[in-house]
Amino acid sequence: MNSNSCEKVKSEVNVNVDSSMDSTHSTESDLVGEPSHENIVEFEGRKVVLESVDVLHSWKLKLQCVACFLCLFISGMMDQSLGSNIENLVSYYDSNRTKVSSILICQVVGYLVGSVLNEPLHRLIGMYWLTSVSVVCLMLNCVVLFCKAPLAVLCVFAVIQGLGEGSISCTLTLFIGKLKYSNQVLGVMHGFYGLGCLISPLMVVGLIERGWSWNQFYGILFLIALFTLISCLVLFFRETKWKYKYIEAIKKRENQYELPTLKQVVSNRWVLFIAGTLFLYLGSELCVGIWLFNYLLTAKKKSEQFASTYTSIYWAFLTGGRFIMGFVTGKWFDKREVRAVLIYTLMITVGCIVFWACSDYTTVQIVFINVVGFFVGPMFATSMNVALHSLPEKIANIGVPIACGIGSAGAAVIPWAMGLISDQTVNGVSGNGLVYFPVLIFSTFTGAFVMWILFYLLNRKKLDNFERLV
């Protein structure tokens, strides 16, 4: 970009946000560079670099997306490792499934806090430091698990892990959501979360069979997270707090709105709706991922190798759904993502019905839980696109992370509830409560389906006309 162009862009932004801006306003479409060069502006005495949002034409953006994929990959491995190691943890700490599952609650408390604080932290330290510190939080939990710290210490550091995961998920979803081809890229990014969940049980069982201790798995995770941290430090150094503030100032001026308070965002009915569907979706997805292994092992009396293999196959279908259906959504449901959500949730509900109804036929159950996994795959990314494009403009950036945070409570409550149910005696044997696993996931996934139907019917005109909700 030549010096004259740079000066023109600079003149469009007053360094004092509270002052009136030049009459030749820049718009949101001007807030990115062309594929071949960058736009440089000065804001609050700092240089802000605006770069291309076209992932097909920017090599740096491609590498940034790879770093995002690695962050979600680590999160997936961390989350699923609890389900894969739960019997080892129960044995090592001489505890029960309910107490060990409380680690999930601690993790989600951290996730909720990290999500709610996402927007203020963007303003305070920017995406660069926020992403890097979040990866460090995951690394700290790897260290504690590797050292076999007491169960109480694991719960404390599970909160720290949740802080990191909440910040990473919300930050990167917002970052990718503003790019061209966001449906496809979000699908791939969350596909890497599923890929981490797929690899985790295979690695845990494989390492233990080779004589490794359960905790040594987290040493490998630490090394992968270290590489991810270095990648973030190298690639996101221009994603500063001043860049975030500058873009928000332009949006605020163009759309003539005041930033809402936290109370206004949390009480917004559409934010609460998105949070409610995510509560059911995230909780159900993780519940299947964590307890399918134990359901096959305990309720169906299958071998550990059988259970771990078919749990990984579930994650393989879920990951495939994220990769494949993200492109399907982008091609056939661009700007009509809510219709895609309705189709996906319908297929999930059908799969859950068969999984529950055919509980005497393990082969049929395995087939249909994989159908569920495939259509569960694209749900989070597609739901985020619905939220980003349909929530009122002034609350979208704040409302999406808060909805993620509140919704993430489902990832603690529903798997924890399954753990509590599993420890209730059936025929006098603790653990036989897992026979209720099919009806639990049917109830929660069907609840999400009903909510999305009502959402679409109540807002059909606005959604079909690509208008934002009020």
Confidence band for 388, pLDDT divided at 50, 70 and 90: confident
Average pLDDT over residues 221-229: 95
Q: Which residue has the higher pLDDT, 278 or 41?
A: 278
Q: Which pLDDT value is given to residue 261?
A: 77
Question: Mean pLDDT over residues 53-68, rounded?
Answer: 90
User: What are the angstrom distances between the C-alpha of 63 and each of 134, 205, 238, 376?
Assistant: 19, 32, 14, 27
Q: What is the pLDDT of residue 23?
A: 32
Structure tokens at 2: 């030549």
Q: Look at residue 277 in the predicted model and tell me its pLDDT.
A: 94
Whether the per-residue pLDDT at 5 is higher than 50: the answer is no
63 vs 247, residue with greater confidence? 63
pLDDT band of 128, cuts 50, 70, 90: very high
pLDDT for 26 equals 43
Looking at domain 59-464, its CATH class is mainly alpha
For 44-53, 137-146, 254-263, which range has the lowest pLDDT when averaged over its residues? 254-263
Least confident of 22-36, 164-178, 252-266: 22-36
**With 90 as the cut, is the pLDDT of residue 374 above it?**
yes
Average pLDDT over residues 224-232: 95
Where are the domains positioned within the chain? Answer: 3-50, 59-464
Q: For position 140, what pLDDT does the model report? A: 95
The whole-angstrom separation of Cα 180 and Cα 157 is: 37
Do residues 128 and 237 make contact, with C-beta atoms less than 8 angstroms apart? yes
Confidence of residue 1 (pLDDT cuts 50, 70, 90): very low
CA 31 to chain CA mean position, Å: 26
Distance CA 196, CA 317 (A): 13
Q: How far is 384 from 281, CA to CA, in rounded Å?
A: 12
Tens of pLDDT, residues 170-193: 899 888 888 888 878 888 888 888
Token pair for residue 407? Answer: 């919704």
Q: Which whole number is the average pLDDT over 31-58? A: 75
The band of 48, judged by pLDDT with boundaries at 50, 70 and 90, is: confident
pLDDT, residue 7, reads 42
> Is pTM beyond 0.85 here?
no
Q: How sure is the predictor about 359, in pLDDT bands with cuts at 50, 70 and 90?
A: confident
Q: Which residue has the higher pLDDT, 411 or 159?
A: 159
Query: Residue 431's pLDDT band (boundaries 50, 70, 90)?
Result: low
Using one digit for the tens of pLDDT, what is the confidence trace for 61-105? Answer: 999 999 999 999 999 898 878 777 877 888 888 877 777 878 878
Split at pLDDT 50, 70, 90, the class of 36 is very low
Note the pLDDT of residue 427: 55
The segment with the largest mean pLDDT, out of 229-233, 376-380, 426-430, is 229-233
